[in-house]
Homo-oligomer: A and B are copies of this chain.
Amino acid sequence: MINRLIEKIKKTNAPIVVGLDPMLSYVPEQVQNKAFGEFGETLEGAAEAIWQFNKAIVDAVCDLIPAVKPQVAMYEQFGVPGMAAYEKTVAYCQEKGLVVIGDIKRGDIGSTSEAYAVGHLGRVRVGSRSYAGFHEDFATVNPYLGSDGVKPFLKVCREEKKGIFILVKTSNPSSGEFQDRLVDGRPLYELVGEKVAQWGEEAMGDDYSYVGAVVGATYPEMGRILRKIMPKSYILVPGYGAQGGKGKDLVHFFNEDGLGAIVNSSRGIIAAYRHEQYGSFGPEHFAEASRQAVLDMVSDIRGALEAVK
């Protein structure tokens, strides 16, 4: 799957991923009203609204991008119907040829991580049959529990040719509280980065590993160091746009081959119609606003990468 992701990035010439994190408040009124008309103001109605919102955006941008990253929390908040909308979104994006990175940030002790790995990336056995519950192509993983929480994911990645991105340095303001603490004079995120590189050796694609890392766009200097610590790991970079990261901050997340990183934007794309810059599209044309925001983001990042060539 890492090979396929890279192939898609090269084909689109767009190392970006659109975060499908649909807060209900992002969904234009006409979409909400239609869904509530059909299902009432219920969890099912909310799930239908975010699904229709996602579908319109995916239809509008799928030829421009290699991948999407649905954030499961935004679906999980709507209970079981929300999880059904998540699964439907994953399936639809895959139908449209997109690579799907499930932003699930799961991680537990061994036997429990195995259940998460099976449910999201693998297949679960039921009697004589087996099923892929949420069938994402990649998933994000929290490393706080150590190797035995991560290894079940590696096993499933090898079997299914899927991938993971492990949280190393997250984009939020208080990520430093634990992640930056010095251990033998070096920040914890560097130690996690070293483990990512080690785990990655156990599951290599052609040029890059199935095991990638999450490093926030908001910390470009740390991105530069982590790039060197994990040369074979793809870096998933959240925090572009709404959280403050810009194209020129991101060049050091990439390797000299122009590969090695994929930059996520969520709100900046899916809620573009609410930003002043794209306000002229109006809520009726929210999906076209998203398309324009993708074009602008791609051009910002391509420009920044060209400038350092």
Contacts and interface: CB of A to CB of B under 8 A. Distances in A.
Interface string A31-49: 0100010000111011000
User: How many subunits of this chain does the assembly comprise?
Assistant: 2
A117 to B, nearest CB: 9
B112 A71 contact: yes
Nearest to A195: B177
B147 A74 contact: no
A124 B148 CA distance: 34
Nearest to A176: B146
B73 A112 contact: yes
Nearest to A167: B144
Interface in A258-291: none
A82 B132 CA distance: 12
A222 B181 CA distance: 20
A142 interface: yes
Question: How large, as a class, is the contact surface on chain A?
Answer: 35 or more
Contact of A172 (B82, B125, B145): B145
Contact of A78 (B77, B79, B111, B133): B133
A191 interface: yes
A307 interface: no
Contact of A112 (B74, B82, B182): B74
A119 to B, nearest CB: 4
Interface stretch (A9-17, A100-108, A200-208, A224-232): A100-108
Contacts of A124: 43, 46, 77-79
A76 interface: yes
A129 interface: yes
Nearest to A173: B148
B178 A149 contact: no
Given A71-B115, A109-B170, A144-B179, 8 more contacts: A23-B111, A42-B129, A78-B124, A80-B133, A146-B172, A146-B179, A147-B177, A183-B188
Nearest 6 CB-CB pairings of A with B: A79-B133, A146-B177, A41-B127, A146-B174, A77-B119, A109-B172
